[in-house]
Structure 1
């Protein structure tokens, strides 16, 4: 079964806008109808001037009303001309308004729905995606769709309408000439579709190359400090140059085809116009075609065939848009693997008792956790230590349902976590990562992130509990100070204190600190540790750390190696075991 056409996907998605599509199409048709009529009036005017009271208009239309005088016919023609021009202008305004509004509404909906869909995808999806490529879809591809709806759709409709209307006039006035004059039309349309079919894979390649450029630029801008530190500006410039060159070459391959459309169509137009001019003139000289009718057909041939040169631009815009729409619709069609609905979980009823029952997990082919059985009692502080890649962070990612276990179950207060409403589950867990996300907002906005109706007093209390007041009070605007993108105006330690204040303000039954102190100085670590001693009371706290000094006060410490828990106990018990933990302790403290 062949894949669904991108335009059909878009129309299916935009079913709520069916009425708008129909109205916009109607306005385009009516505008073209009024647009064609002036050429007919030119022929009628020529006929009136040449034949006077014996004109076609006097004999066939106005004779019954007694309007046969040449001057009166011309006056009536002038009034009719004004009505036609006003009608064309009115529907030009309506079609422009409707198509542009439709384009704006649709691009807004697609972008918002696509972004919302991306947020709901499981973390495994992002392991195979680049942020810049997703940015290219959410921004440039959707903008390309908007540009097509702004003008391209109307052009296609009007070319079709023009062909039908002019053909009807031709056949009504001179069937034999109509057949000759319209012979190029099938060739023009066939050529346009032939080129369009060959443009499709080329523009798909262009969109992929554009996504690659966007991905590289996004990655480099985020890592600019590292690039500067390693003096690799020239190397990265060459990498961006290679990606940009690939994009340029992909465009060149598409342009080589799209540029040929107009010359081919012009040759077909030349044949049609020449046939009308010469053969129509011959018929007129032999009194088989009226002078007015000949004038109409000459003008209409121009009106019919010349706009078809625009098919090149339309075909180019259409195919670019179809490639962009296809990428956006495919993103929306990406299945959401994590279940969001489930049992409601009121925060007030959560005590924080957590169990891992025979939990295993693998990233692709690499198994990270092996049959983990673990109980974390409510209100206790539990720590996980071990070497990088031992599976510590994976445990909390499974608890937060960033991923789904390959086997086994995770229970919160005796209820399977995958049966709970996902948003409710995450709201009862406070999460502080090694590199916490901060918005380009104020200090207060970042502390209150995700919460509604938070008082200034509560924000200040959370900052005080996280020992962040000292640096906040030194800022020029205090809590109203904007901290820049990703909090770049703050030091690493200050960012971590804000992230901890955010978690404290959330007041969750379960608090997770995933390497939260690994990138801070000793003073900041000591401050965060003092805060933890206070905020961890009466709540389940999970601490993941490399520095054992951070976790020595935990109720229970679990040592992990290669996805398994190899030791468990308090700091003193683990030292007494003289195993892996004791070896790590001696290594970090310098004891022999």
Structure 2
């Protein structure tokens, strides 16, 4: 079963690499010719022995070289040509295979990454980033190592068996049968060890992913580790993951290492058969002395390279385990498809309609049920409710990070499923609670949505987001490095840059997903001032826990357990004395004992 899986992975890889067919054929051809040249010197040694022993009656004499001296000179010239040919084709196959390995691994990584970018958010929510990084990096490199040397070795072993076998059967069918007797055992042993090693190397690749995931999580959470003085505990966890990797490798190594001693004994059997039986025939005159020399030398050429099958199979199994993971990622279905849909009609006014939306997360009771909300263009909708009530789900559906099970989201009357993803997401600017800044300068991060924006436009967006004051005070201004994930900036500064990044994009629809929940009062006040200025000519959808930030919203929807519980303006909802009014009293210090608390 595992053997089948490995060859199935090879077939899938060849199917993927069909665009490289000419390069593969050229590299394989050079490998074949090189091996034929490599075998030839052993034949020439036997021919030289024949010349010395038989002289004018030698095989070479039949080709027109009458004297032994002429025969030796001819063999010398032929030896030079063969060695030169072997060297040339060794250079060619190494260049071709290595360049092919580099090109294929680069394209495979690029294709896998681009495909991963097209996958919907639920895929990333169910996979660890460490496993994905290990697949895109370590697994691709593992395949590269096989193509660098393993593919050539497999081809040359096959050529050796066929070419040497042909010479053997031409000289002595009896000795050929005896010399080839161990080959079925060697091949069976190769497949046996391959079948045993396959799942073990699959386990090794899993352990690699776990280590990468552990390292990624810990390095991203280093501040938390330090604050809880958990360095020793996390070091122990990494040690355990590393030991699991070592143990998985130990099992695979134990299996693959047993292959060579077993095959060595099989090789000895074939060599002894050629050595003894051939020697007896040469002594009795039934076999030419030169031919006997050829057979003895070629026996080693035939059998000893087969001991290299252990290393080749080791490389092959590692590569196929990695190939299954890489192609598995490439074959992951895209749930939210963008199939050449037309762009959103221009100009975009920004009307948003959540029409009878229903969405249920798999293996979970959370989701939304029959939500119907309409936001006129240029108006502000605020969404409030307990954590897990479904507020962020609406934003995911708006951006088509996921698609609803029923109902639809419309922008200016067009279903978002009927327009291109690029057009949809260009029309929406997202500022989330968890701000992600890329390593680079402040300028790079603000201009992320518009890389060609001028400095004047970047400064204008920074001013609108009330970020320019702190940027201008920095020694390097816009060229200040933010560090990985923006670690060199405060939370409030990162939030303002995130808002500036969205504003530079100048979207007709602006989404704020709890954008002020983790900032100080001064930053919140600054962001609120910015929002009041920029909300006049665009649609704004806000998710907020702090009700003080949404009192000016045109429409406030209270979401409870995936449904709209209340909807109206701030004053209207206070007058209803429902959930919203209760939360308002809690947050303004006038709570009653029976008021619920929004979690």
TM-score (norm 1): 0.97
Give the structure 2 partner of residue 557 of structure 1. 556
Per-residue Cα deviation, 1:401-435 (whole angstroms, up to 9, x for no partner): 11111211111111111111111101100001111
| Shift >6 Å, 4+ stretches | 1-4
User: Are 1:12 and 2:15 an aligned pair?
Assistant: yes
How many Å apart are 1:242 and its aligned residue?
2.1
- Residues 29 and 161, structure 1, Cα contact 8 Å, conserved in 2: yes
SS in 1 for 2:377: coil
Q: Give the Cα–Cα distance (whole angstroms) in 1 for the partners of residues 109 and 337 of structure 2.
A: 23
Give the structure 1 partner of residue 522 of structure 2. 523
Give the structure 1 partner of residue 597 of structure 2. none
How many Å apart are 1:475 and its aligned residue?
2.0
Give the structure 1 partner of residue 385 of structure 2. 386
SS in 2 for 1:349: coil
How many Å apart are 1:317 and its aligned residue?
0.7
Q: How does 1:335-354 map to 2 (within 5 A)?
A: 335-346=333-344, 348-354=346-352
Q: How does 1:42-441 map to 2 (within 5 A)?
A: 42-58=45-61, 60-62=62-64, 67-346=65-344, 348-364=346-362, 365-441=364-440
Computed over aligned residues only, the root mean square deviation of the Cα atoms, in angstroms, reads: 1.4
How many Å apart are 1:279 and its aligned residue?
1.4
Per-residue Cα deviation, 1:271-293 (whole angstroms, up to 9, x for no partner): 11111111111111111111111
SS in 2 for 1:14: helix
SS in 2 for 1:383: strand
Q: Give the Cα–Cα distance (whole angstroms) in 2 for the partners of residues 549 and 162 of structure 1.
A: 81
SS in 1 for 2:87: helix
How many Å apart are 1:437 and its aligned residue?
1.9
Structure 2 alignment gaps of length 5 or more: 592-599
Q: Give the Cα–Cα distance (whole angstroms) in 1 for the partners of residues 300 and 544 of structure 2.
A: 77
Structure 1 alignment gaps of length 5 or more: none
SS in 2 for 1:448: helix
SS in 2 for 1:385: strand
Q: Give the Cα–Cα distance (whole angstroms) in 2 for the partners of residues 476 and 312 of structure 1.
A: 60
Per-residue Cα deviation, 1:223-250 (whole angstroms, up to 9, x for no partner): 1111111122222222222222222221
Give the structure 2 partner of residue 505 of structure 1. 504
Aligned residue among 34, 42, 55 for 1:31? 34
Per-residue Cα deviation, 1:27-67 (whole angstroms, up to 9, x for no partner): 10000010000111111111112222221111x222xxxx2
Per-residue Cα deviation, 1:165-217 (whole angstroms, up to 9, x for no partner): 11111111111111111111121111101111111111111111211221122
How many positions carry a matched residue from both structures?
Answer: 587
- Residues 367 and 562, structure 2, Cα contact 8 Å, conserved in 1: yes
How many Å apart are 1:345 and its aligned residue?
2.5
Per-residue Cα deviation, 1:359-378 (whole angstroms, up to 9, x for no partner): 11111131421110111110
Query: Quick check: 364-373 or 24-33, which moved more?
Result: 364-373
Give the structure 2 partner of residue 589 of structure 1. 588
Query: Quick check: 32-41 or 578-587, which moved more?
Result: 578-587
TM-score (norm 2): 0.96
- Residues 467 and 493, structure 2, Cα contact 8 Å, conserved in 1: yes
How many Å apart are 1:452 and its aligned residue?
4.0
- Residues 344 and 420, structure 2, Cα contact 8 Å, conserved in 1: no
How many Å apart are 1:347 and its aligned residue?
6.9
Q: Give the Cα–Cα distance (whole angstroms) in 2 for the partners of residues 92 and 161 of structure 1.
A: 15
SS in 1 for 2:308: helix
- Residues 390 and 562, structure 1, Cα contact 8 Å, conserved in 2: yes
Q: Give the Cα–Cα distance (whole angstroms) in 2 for the partners of residues 68 and 536 of structure 1.
A: 102
How many Å apart are 1:126 and its aligned residue?
2.0
- Residues 409 and 415, structure 2, Cα contact 8 Å, conserved in 1: yes
